[in-house]
Amino acid sequence: MSGENYNTCCSGDKQESTKDKYSMGEGQFVTFPLYTPYKEDTPVKDEKEEIFNYYQDFIIDFLETPSGKVPVVDTEIHFEDKIGSWKVRWGIGRFNYRVRPGLYAVGRPNENSLIYVTANYKMSFDRLRKSLSGLNGWIMVLDTDGINVWCAAGKGTFGTDELIRRIELTGIKKIVSHRLLILPQLSAPGVSAHEVFVKTGFKVIYGPVKAEDIKRFLDNGMKATEDMRTVNFDFLDRVVLIPMELVQSIKYILIFIIIMLILHLGDVIKFRFSYIYPFIGAVTTGSVITPALLPWIPGKAFSFKGWVMGLLWAIFVIYKQGIFDMEKLSVTLAVILFLPALSSFLAFNFTGASTYTSLSGVKKEMKIAVPLMITSALTGMVVGITGHFLKF
Amino acid sequence: MKNYYLKNVVTLQFDEKRCMGCGMCVTVCPRGVFQMNGKKAMLVDRDACMECGACEKNCPFSAISVNAGVGCAYAVIKGALTGNEPNCCCSSSGEGKNTCC
Ligand code: SF4
Ligand code: SF4
């Protein structure tokens, strides 16, 4: 039996290659049902709703298995997938960007093919199917509420229970003869490998952190080397997060524009860009510049790093606006007290996006830094506003 | 390049007596905190730990304990304000932010 392919429902031939999937005629394609008729725990309530909630356009074929038909997925990422990822990065309609949980096939897998487990967050899934191109394998998608592997593992949705449940629901035991599951390394906080083994007989192997390393991992005898296992949070890792930070900080910028407008109600005509650029700069310093330059800024605490950068910005603003003179003492003080505190707070927020901060560390930082930030910012605000009205 | 956060804050505890040397902790840790030292695991870089809890969850002999959670300011602040344990804010976003919020 071993080595034999399961028949596919469109082409009965035994081609190992994944290339034959493109030979499928269009007429054949439309004869496939829209839905995967394989076992699924949640019944489809409204067919249309299902189409909108799940992105399943990557299904190119179906494979007949002892546990029912399994959809075969495309390993190519198309333009729409890229647009989708781009939208997610910029925070546009990022809800429901999910894949239907269950079993999928890549290439023409058989009973000896490996099983790769992932989350039903579309980007996690896309990365995996792309990295598996040219291979034959099974993809088991867990129901993680459309959340990526790492977050879901932390929450426990990508967890031991869901994995055990999904093993049963997909009937994978009848499809493969081996008992190995390859999980992404970053799912380990949610999954207890020994518990899964005791309860299902499947041995969990933690693969690389990044799906792109899967082939190297397989070549290495299914062992993740240290660099595949560790999370480093390099410059590029940080830079891809910046759009999201920027989108989130726009609201702060708007708030300051409004405050400054109110303060200058008397002479709106004289309202100048110089009134608001200090804020825009401080927000950008905290949420974009500090994250990007993170390891090169002195200090360990994010709030401190943000404060240092904010201080540099404040000094620049004071220099630029020529407000060293005693006449504008209140403005100078307000700038020096308020802007660094603002950058500091935004930089502190970036701990959430970083991949090396610990809960205990953030708690400690909060106890020490947050009161300082608030005091500094409030004092700055009071000085600035009273100075504005009393003209000192 | 390995980034480090604050020193001496993590709650990670390793009980060498219970360790049976299976090496699972070395495999699952994304921060290279453990290494094998003969038949036992060994803490080699405690300050690198980000308290993800993977080692505790995957140690078959309960030799490791850590107060796992997310190092996310937003979650901690929200937790402090509402009096709840810090909870990850993933539910509102897929992945824009890698770790949490
Ligand atoms: S997982 Fe537990 S038993 Fe295994 S090496 Fe690590 S500490 Fe020891
Ligand atoms: S909690 Fe996570 S980062 Fe810390 S030692 Fe365990 S596996 Fe490594």
Res. A3 pLDDT band, cuts 50 70 90: very low
- Ligand 2 atom 3: residue of nearest CA: B49
Ligand 2 pocket, residue B28 CB under 6 Å = yes
Residue A154 predicted with pLDDT over 70: yes
Can you say whether residue A108 is alpha, beta or left, with left for phi > 0 and alpha for psi between -120 and 50 degrees?
beta
b/e per residue A48-86 (b: at least 16 CB within 10 A): eeeeeebbbebbbbbbebebbbbbbbbbebeeebeebbe
Hey, are the CB atoms on B94 and A348 less than 8 Å from each other?
Answer: no
Domains of chain B plus CATH, in order, are 13-100 (3.30.70.20)
The structure's pTM equals 0.76
Query: Which residues of chain B have a CB within 8 Å of the CB of A162?
Result: none
pLDDT band at A266 (very low <50, low <70, confident <90, very high): low
- How far is Cα A334 from Cα A90, in angstroms, rounded to an integer? 33
- Average pLDDT of the residues of chain A: 79
Longest Cα–Cα distance in chain A: 90
The residue among A90, A86, A88 whose CA lies nearest residue A244 is A90
Give the 3-state secondary structure of residue A365: helix
> Which segment of A9-18, A101-110, A115-124, A217-226 scores lowest on mean pLDDT?
A9-18
| Rounded mean pLDDT, A277-283 | 89
- CA-CA distance, A336 to A351, in Å (whole number)? 24
Which residues have CB under 8 Å from A153's CB, separation 6+? A159, A186, A187, A188, A189, A190, A191, B54
A331-346 tens-digit pLDDT: 888 889 999 999 999 9
- May I ask the CATH architecture of the domain A59-231? 3-Layer(aba) Sandwich (3.40)
Mean pLDDT (whole number) for B8-23? 92
Which residue among B7, B53, B93 places its CB closest to the CB of A189? B53
Ligand 1 proximal residues by C-beta, below 6 Å: B 19-25, 41, 59, 61, 63-64
pLDDT of B21 higher than 70: yes
Which residue has the least CA distance to atom 8 on ligand 2? B29
- Do the Cβ atoms of A191 and B10 come within 8 Å? no
Tell me: the pLDDT tens digits for B36-86?
998 999 999 999 998 999 999 999 999 999 988 877 777 777 777 776 655
Strand, helix or coil for residue A140: strand
pLDDT of B95 > 60? The answer is: no
pLDDT of residue A350: 85
Look at B9 and A190 and tell me if their CB atoms are within 8 Å: no
pLDDT of residue A88: 64
Which of A323 and B81 is assigned the larger pLDDT?
Answer: B81
Instruction: Report the Cα A199 to chain-centroid distance in Å.
Output: 30
Phi first, then psi, for residue A124 (nearest 5°) are -65, -45
Q: What is the mean pLDDT of residues A343-358?
A: 86
Radius of gyration of chain B (CA): 15
Q: Which residues contact A18 (CB under 8 A, 6 or more apart)?
A: A75, A106, A107, A108, A133, A134, A135, A136
**A5 Rama class: left (phi>0) / alpha (psi -120 to 50) / beta:** beta
Cα A29 off chain centre by: 33
Q: Which amino acid is at A354?
A: S
**pLDDT value of residue A89:** 62
DSSP run (H or E) holding A363: helix A359-390
Give me the pLDDT at residue A224, please. Answer: 86
Spatial separation of the C-alpha atoms in residues A298 and A53, rounded to whole Å: 45
> Which ipTM score applies to this complex?
0.84
pLDDT at position A14 is: 35
Q: CB A147 to CB B94 under 8 A?
A: yes
What is the pLDDT at residue A91?
A: 60
> ∠ CA A107-A109-A113 to the nearest 5 degrees?
125
Which has more confidence, A190 or A78? Answer: A190
DSSP A202: P
**The token pair that represents A132 in the structure block:** 């598996």
- Helices and strands in chain B: count of H runs, count of E runs: 3, 4
Ligand 2 geometric centre to CA of B66 (Å):
8
Q: Residue A267 above 70 pLDDT?
A: no
Collect all residues of chain B within an 8 Å Cβ-Cβ radius of residue A156.
Answer: none
The beta strand positions in chain A, using DSSP E, are: 59-65, 68-73, 102-106, 115-119, 137-142, 180-183, 203-206
The answer to whether B34 and A235 have CB atoms below 8 angstroms apart is: no
Q: Which of A73-82, A292-301, A372-381 has the lowest mean pLDDT?
A: A73-82
Helices (H), A285-358: 290-293, 302-321, 329-349
Q: pLDDT per residue over A166-225, tens digit each?
A: 999 999 999 999 999 999 999 999 999 999 999 999 999 999 988 889 999 999 988 888
pLDDT at A29: 36
Domain borders along chain A are 59-231, 236-390
